[in-house]
Structure 1
Amino acid sequence: MTATAANAATAVNPATAGRPDIAHPATYAAGVPHAEFARRRSNEPVAWVDEPLLVRHSSAGRSVDRGTGYWAVTTHDAVFSVSRRADEFSSGEKGAFLRDPRTPGDLKQMRQLLVSMDAPEHVRIRKLVASVFTPRAVGGLAGSIERHAEALVEKVVAAEEFDAVPDLAAELPLLVLCDLLGVPPADRHLLYRWSNALVGFDDPEFGGGDVEAYRTAFGEAFQYALRLGMARREQPTDDLISRLANAEVDGKRLSDREFCSFWLLLVVAGNETTRHLISGSVEALADNPGQRERLASGAVPMAGAVEELIRWTTPIMMFRRTATRDTEIMGQSIAEGEKVVIYYTSANRDADVFAEPDRLDLGRDPNPHLAFGIGPHFCLGAHLARLELVTLLTMLRPHLSTLRLTGPVTRLQSNFVNGAKSMPARIG
């Protein structure tokens, strides 16, 4: 911790006993601590957070890991500002994730992901990917998304009870990913397992803090992507991944490593975020029957309702940046090299921007949420996530009035994604 951070910790964190620890993954097993984020927005919108001790294990034994601490940025204006100041707040310096890279090799591996790149490399890779991952290309999947959604809704409606996470929320993005990536549908559970191991690293049911399991999942996914990319270069098909494997910008195409890294990002982001968006939307509608009826009756436009559900859920709760020089955020001095964490989940409940932010309002307009980020790292998959949720809710609309949760929701222990592992439900 720098002197600046040490002084801030003394000044603004005199007694945190009893407050939810926003840095600890276990905190989120009880849901996002929105009251704590509201307190922070009001009293300390940019404040130092000491990271907790976390147990890691591998074949070498158990170890205790503690991050360096960070500045938590919680207001809409401040998150927006940091996101747009990419020259001052780097994604590539130490990666975009809260957990610090353990080794130079880990950092090198992390920097292969688009979310952990800075310009000019980020611009080159994103330009190449964007040339393939266009709204028009995504729109070409509309027919298959509709067929998958229709079949899944028919199945859960017919069931006496179902689990909204594996039976509905996970299945749709997995099936869509198989279409998008040219992966055999039978392999979709590999994608599910890999993304759970990588994103659920801290959850006892998935990663459990096992460093080797994380690296194994990463390696398996890379090897699968490498084989897929080589096959598509030798024998291209009409799927998006073939176009990605063979696309060129300024006479240069993705290297094998760059291709595999982006493929893995699609697997994780395209699966995890949309899965948690869908399950969070199901929970929100079940818990807010008045709003559910507005959607079921057609009283609110579907597109606007989806934007509100995206704001409400905010599947990716935060990303990390690293200060490239001495700077400031909202008057708070930030030293070069310090970790800065931008909390989208807090920004999307900011009362200075959203009227009654803790009330679900499917007719909310305007709705300038930051769930897909802002600035150079705005989510490339935003069009696809919206299309999947719109399509699924359109299929569910005739049945929404009878949607009920029938048991407790089990949540993921993660300080990164706002997700559920199990959500017993019934329709009818």
Structure 2
Amino acid sequence: MTPSTAGALRRPDIADPVTYAAGVPHEEFTRLRLTEPVSWVQEPLLWRHSSGGRIAERGSGFWAVTTHEAVLSVSRRPEEFSSGAKGAFLVDPRTPADLRQTRQLLVNMDAPQHLRIRRLVTSVFTPRAVRGLVESVTAHATALVDRVARAGRFDAVTDLACELPLLVLSDLLGMPREDRHLLYRWSNHLVGFDDPDYGGGDVEAYRRTFVEAFQYALRLAMERRDNPTGDLVSLLANAEVDGQRLSDREFCNFWLLLVVAGNETTRHLISGSLEALAAYPAERDRLVSGAVPVPTAVEELLRWVTPIMQFRRTATRDTELCGRRVSEGDKVVIYYTSANRDAAVFADPQRLDLGRDPNPHLAFGMGPHFCLGSHLARLEATALLTAMRPHLAAFELTGPVARLESNFVNGAKSMPARIAGAPQRT
């Protein structure tokens, strides 16, 4: 074995979910940006299981796009790099029926269907509309921080980071608050499909989650069609576009996307932010002192954490990207987590700088699929960090962070923490 071969074998596999249990392999992404900004990646063998037994699956391989410029290029060329051809997720749909199901989700649509569905709720997530939520989001954040401050010891994921978006979502969707942990469980089993603590590669459990979530959504829709209440579910259940109401399947898929995207991304942003502030006390102190405004810090924490690490596209024709010939049908994966550490765009990108300005990060994507809930995510993170600011100097982690085995989201499952000096509950 040559030294170069041995080095290649030791490199982290950016396609393997297990790699990310140790954190995002930023050194490998740096190497790729410098040497192969568009590089071919072989996919690992992954095991799935069901009542029919265990099945080994290996994807076809893909082009990994890792520079800021190249990620922008792909994002702005939806006619060449499709979200709908095979979906926006790394794993290919297994059957034509799976592909049809996949294409019902907004993130897996191309124009014109994508625009038709997206504009149904665009008004709900405008900056003006989100400003109307400030009071309720702030109240939730304050109550949660007060609770963990009284407890002293807590889990920063389950007690803070996941609770805030779940409470906000239950308000938006008009759900009973006691049902919010259903959203948590469903999104864990879908997004955490590869993680042994969640989906564990169980295909049947994955499908059962869809069925259970869809049944719940349809019950809500029927109630709101009979008795609209002004919440987001009422809007979706009764809205018409071009004279057509959403079909039940369209409604369920849109609702589920809101459920997953509305809690997963913000949860991981908040927990990743708290982890970063604990690890970099000098930057934390700039936030605590007011030297850096909270909204400015949130932008840098979005860049630093990048909760959604990548999305997949499919080439619709033979084309070129950074000098590479990409063939029609090739899988192309755009890595936001790498683009957000690109030294060609960000000075000293491996340094957390809460006052970074300008900060053209791509944590919310770019192009027609730019994150619909970006304003709400910013509001929630700002509210939580504002409420935590008086306690941040005493905030510390008390044990190892358990990370999600996922090549899609950069997330933690648990993060034991305490506020030093806080009274301890007995």
Task: Give the TM-score, by structure 1 length.
Answer: 0.96
Native 8 Å contact 1:132 1:247 kept in 2: no
Q: Which residue of 2 aligns with 1:367?
A: 359
Aligned-residue CA RMSD in angstroms?
1.3
Alpha carbons of 1:115 and 1:76: their partners in 2 closer, same or farther (altered >3 Å)?
A: same
Identity in percent: 74
1:62 CA drift (Å): 0.4
Distance 1:238 1:77 in 2: 42
Q: Which residue of 2 aligns with 1:134?
A: 126
Residue of structure 1 aligned with 2:55, choices 53, 57, 63: 63
Q: Which residue of 1 aligns with 2:211?
A: 219
Q: Which residue of 1 aligns with 2:424?
A: none
Off by >4 Å, runs of 4+ in structure 1: 12-15
User: Is structure 2 residue 337 aligned with structure 1 residue 326?
Assistant: no
1:140 CA drift (Å): 2.1
1:26 CA drift (Å): 0.1
Native 8 Å contact 1:198 1:207 kept in 2: yes
Native 8 Å contact 2:124 2:130 kept in 1: no
Look up the equivalent residue of 1:68 and give its one-letter code. Answer: S
Alpha carbons of 1:126 and 1:14: their partners in 2 closer, same or farther (altered >3 Å)?
A: farther
1:309-324 aligned within 5 A: 309-324=301-316
Q: Please state whether the residue corresponding to 2:372 is helix, strand or coil.
A: coil
Q: Which residue of 2 aligns with 1:418?
A: 410
Native 8 Å contact 1:132 1:244 kept in 2: no
Distance 2:242 2:342 in 1: 42
1:330 CA drift (Å): 1.0
User: Is structure 2 residue 88 aligned with structure 1 residue 109?
Assistant: no
Q: Which residue of 2 aligns with 1:32?
A: 24
Q: Which residue of 2 aligns with 1:271?
A: 263
Native 8 Å contact 1:132 1:243 kept in 2: no
Q: Please state whether the residue corresponding to 2:303 is helix, strand or coil.
A: helix
Residue of structure 1 aligned with 2:332, choices 340, 344, 362: 340
1:13 CA drift (Å): 9.2
Native 8 Å contact 2:89 2:311 kept in 1: yes
Distance 2:25 2:124 in 1: 38
Native 8 Å contact 1:350 1:357 kept in 2: yes
- Identify which range, 284-293 or 154-163, moves more after superposition: 154-163
Residue of structure 2 aligned with 1:48, choices 36, 40, 43: 40
1:219 CA drift (Å): 1.2
Residue of structure 2 aligned with 1:206, choices 193, 198, 212: 198
Look up the equivalent residue of 1:225 and give its one-letter code. Answer: A
- Structure 1 residues 136-187: Cα deviation after superposition (integer angstroms, max 9, x where no partner): 3322222111111111000111113110000000000011110011111111
Native 8 Å contact 1:32 1:418 kept in 2: yes
Look up the equivalent residue of 1:343 and give its one-letter code. Answer: Y
1:5-404 aligned within 5 A: 16-404=8-396
- Identify which range, 328-337 or 243-252, moves more after superposition: 243-252
- Structure 1 residues 85-139: Cα deviation after superposition (integer angstroms, max 9, x where no partner): 0000000000000011111111111111000000110011112221343333322
1:331 CA drift (Å): 1.2
Q: Please state whether the residue corresponding to 2:10 is helix, strand or coil.
A: coil
Native 8 Å contact 1:55 1:65 kept in 2: yes
Distance 1:176 1:384 in 2: 9
Distance 2:100 2:236 in 1: 23
Native 8 Å contact 1:280 1:313 kept in 2: yes
Native 8 Å contact 2:123 2:129 kept in 1: no
